[in-house]
Structure formats: structure tokens, C-alpha cells
Amino acid sequence: MSRLYFPKDFIWGSATAAYQIEGAYQEDGKGESIWDRFSHTPGKVANGDTGDVACDHYHRYKEDVELMKEIGLDSYRFSISWPRILPKGKGEINQQGLDFYRGLINELLKAGIKPVVTLYHWDLPQALQEEGGWANREIVKHFVNYAEILFNEFGDVVSQWITHNEPFVVAFNGHGSGDHAPGIKDQQVALQVAHNLLLSHGLAVKKFRELKLDNEIGITLNLISSYPISDNVEDNKAAKRMEDYINGWFLEPLFKGRYPERIVEFYGEKFNNLDIREDDMGLIKEEIDFLGINYYSRSLVRYNKDSKFLGIEGVKPQDSQYTAMDWEIYPKGLYDLLIKLNQEYTQKPLYITENGAAFDDKISEGGGVHDQDRIDYLKAHFQSAYKAIQEGVALKGYYVWSLMDNFEWAYGYSKRFGITYIDYENNQRRILKDSAYWYKNIIVNNSLEV
């Protein structure tokens, strides 16, 4: 056996999001979010699950920081719930909301764990949705106002800020397919939402720079590696369109100040109808300090002239392994993605802000949770990250999704991504899975045994 040593200042972390773990959905002045509304709408979430209680992190955050300490995390990525801070999305600030996050951050600092804050992880105040939400360009100033409140409140204790988590999913799942809140099914709206999200990101970064804070700011994108099933030209073009649809639509504006041509022409009238103003692309391209990458799986496609989706048909190899989300396990895709980002987009520091897998974890007779499949998944992806670092990619940290099992959006509690098991039938009891103990060993040695 040999060991792969990561750079000495490499950051090992884990990640969560407010709506997925906090619960206390109506407590201490918190306003309603679009996910409160969506999850309470019959038929939207598996088994009628909601985030009303979730992992009850709101009341158990001290216990959870103890868990992070036991695992030995260098850093913890979490999101702040906008409706906890501004119940109506604007106007009056809810001091109890600020107090909760102050308490959490204080516990993290006491434990020597770097706080990394995601400003927006999908839980928009419902009051703003009622004014059009992300489809209404007015939202941009409300987001910047919300961000400025947090920059001023926590700017001296937060290590890094992430403006948005996965604008692709907010735009296209929330406003295109409609399987996420607010459940809109309109491609034209989805494209406008994507633009307004990017614009809000750029203006929040601009505000951050004006405040002259000495921490860092970036954005997190869900990115794939896209492959054609054959080397024929149409399959290759289909793979490129898929990459433009998920990756390019956000990477090109952020790093090159433009939308990707190939797919702009595909959108045609829907793109021409967008409200994009003269300075927008320059504002979106405001320089960031790092890029966050959420990688879960690859995309393998063939050209299909009858497919209404970009003329693309997905392919699922029989001989691959799949997670409980039915996502192909393809660690090489992470390596290929990191190399491509380094070569085609940025040499800025990169962080894997999410990578992990759902498996059907069970509590064993002996009381432990033996999730060897998750260990194997993470080990293979850590090896891909290591290889990319060895080849010069400025990968500075890795956050495992997730610290604990949680509310998996439209799947509710039916999918478990955590390295900590949550026993929902037993008062949300926490049980560190074997993967947590395995991860602890990686962190303490800053190396991977292969």
C-alpha cells in the first residue's frame, strides 16, 4: 500500500444547506421560503416530506459542531437562510436569525473549523417570489442588500463567501422542468432567471469589493464532464451542446463575459427575448477569488434527431455502477473536468464544494452504519482530485456532500448522502458512518492510502 499526500495546506471539509438540515421552519421570526411553500404543496416532494424539522440542526448545532470536531474537519460549508435574516426578503432584519448564525460561527471558530458561507442555497423568501422571484430583475438589488447585511455582520469571521449554489439548478429545475421550487415550467423564464442570478452574483461581488473585506468570494456551479458515445461528428456535437447547456451557460459569462454561441443559436428567439442590458455581461464577469465545483457524475450522450432536448439522448452504460440517485459513478469525470477548467477557463483556486453519493444506508445489528460503497466512491474521487493537483490544477480544498443525511429536495428523506446517519425514526439521532471514520483518517494524515 502507498499513500498519496495532498498539499500541506489542503482544506478538507464537509457541506450542508440551511433548508436541508435546519428545521425550525417557523421559529424565531423566520419568514416562509419557497421550499416551505413547495414542500407543503401536495405531490411535490416524495412521501409528502417537508423541511419543517429536517435534522433539527437549528436546535442541535452545538452537537453537530462536536461531530465536525470528532471527524476533524478543517472547514464547514453551510448556507444562511435568507428568510431567517429578512423574513420578507427585504426591509426589517430578524435579529434572532443573525443570532443563530453568530452562535454557529462562534462554535465553529472555537473548534478551529473555518466557516464557509453560501449566501443562497435555493430557499428564497416566499414574499419575494410573490413579486416574481428570480424572474423579476428587481430581485438583484434585494439579493445585494441581503448579501451586504451578512458581509457587514460576519465579514470578520467568515473565511470564504459563496454567492450562489448551482444557479443552473435554481434556473432550470426551479423554472424549467419545475421539479424544484417554485415549480415553474417555462424555458423562457428559466433563461431569464439564469441571467438574473448571474447578475446578482456579479453585483454582490462588486459590493463585497467596495467593503474592502479581507476574506474571499466566489460562486459554486454544478459541473459535469460530457462525453459522446462514439467518435462520430454528430455525437461529438451533442456532447458539446450538453456541456454548454450545463457548464458553459455559466462558466462563459463568469470568466469570458459572454454566453456560449453554440447553444445561443439553439435557444434562438428565447435568447433574443431576454432582458440583458448593456453593462450586464461586464458586471457578471466581476473577478472572483475562487470557483466552487459541485461534481457528482458525468454525462454520456448520443445525437438523436428526434430528441426535443438539444437533439441529445443520454446513455447509461450497463457495466457502470450507479448510486441510489441512479447517477453513474465516474471518478475520471472529475479529473477531466478539473483539467478542462484549468486549461479553458481559470487558473484561480478551485474548491470541490460538493462531491458525494447517496446509498441505501442501514443501521447494522451492532449499531454502526457500514457504508463501504460511499468510502469506495469518495476514495476514487479523491484519487482523481490528487491526479489533477499533481498535473498543476490549483485545487485547494474538498467538501464532502454531506456532513449528514438530510432533506434531498424532491426526494425528501428517501436519499441519504451523509457521512453521518440521521435516524429520523429516533429523534434525529446522529450516528457517524464508517465513511466518517475513514474520512477522519484521511484528514489527520492529509493523505489517501491506495
Binding site for ligand 8P5 (CB under 6 A): 17, 20, 165-166, 169, 222, 294, 296-297, 327, 354, 401, 408, 417
Q: How far is the CB of 430 from ligand 8P5 (least distance, A)?
A: 18
Q: At what angle do helices 434-445 and 57-71 cross, to 10 degrees?
A: 50
* Spatial separation of the C-alpha atoms in residues 42 and 412, rounded to whole Å: 13
Between 327 and 438, whose beta carbon lies closer to ligand 8P5? 327
* Spatial separation of the C-alpha atoms in residues 450 and 168, rounded to whole Å: 35
Between 327 and 437, whose beta carbon lies closer to ligand 8P5? 327
Among 402, 443, 439, 438, smallest CA distance to 421 is for: 402
Whether 31 contacts 125, CB under 8 Å: yes
Among 59, 58, 62, 36, smallest CA distance to 49 is for: 36
Q: How far is the CB of 353 from ligand 8P5 (least distance, A)?
A: 8
Whether 290 contacts 218, CB under 8 Å: yes
Q: 393 Cβ partners below 8 Å, 6+ apart?
A: 338, 339, 341, 342, 350
Q: Is 160 assigned a ligand-binding role in the annotation?
A: no
Between 6 and 439, whose beta carbon lies closer to ligand 8P5? 439
Q: How far is the CB of 51 from ligand 8P5 (least distance, A)?
A: 12
Whether 277 contacts 258, CB under 8 Å: no
**Which member of 32, 243, 328, 354 is catalytic?**
354
Whether 439 contacts 64, CB under 8 Å: no
Strand order in the sheet with 312-314: 226-228, 299-303, 312-314
**Largest Cα–Cα separation, the chain:** 63
Q: 9 Cβ partners below 8 Å, 6+ apart?
A: 396
Q: How far is the CB of 302 from ligand 8P5 (least distance, A)?
A: 16
Between 17 and 194, whose beta carbon lies closer to ligand 8P5? 17
| Cell output for 362 | 442501514
Q: How far is the CB of 347 from ligand 8P5 (least distance, A)?
A: 24
Q: Is 58 assigned a ligand-binding role in the annotation?
A: no
**Which member of 166, 243, 252, 286 is catalytic?**
166
Q: How far is the CB of 299 from ligand 8P5 (least distance, A)?
A: 7
Between 20 and 129, whose beta carbon lies closer to ligand 8P5? 20
Give the pairing type, strands 290-294 and 350-355. Answer: parallel
Does the CA dihedral 431-433-434-436 come out positive or negative? Answer: negative
Between 283 and 404, whose beta carbon lies closer to ligand 8P5? 404
Q: Is 296 assigned a ligand-binding role in the annotation?
A: yes
Half-sphere exposure of 211 (CA within 13 A, CB side): 23
Q: Is 134 assigned a ligand-binding role in the annotation?
A: no
148 among known catalytic residues? no
* Spatial separation of the C-alpha atoms in residues 143 and 119, rounded to whole Å: 9
Q: Is 121 assigned a ligand-binding role in the annotation?
A: yes
354 among known catalytic residues? yes
- Residues annotated within a binding site: 20, 121, 165, 296, 401, 408-409
The residues carrying an active-site annotation are: 166, 354
- Residues annotated within a binding site for substrate: 20, 121, 165, 296, 401, 408-409
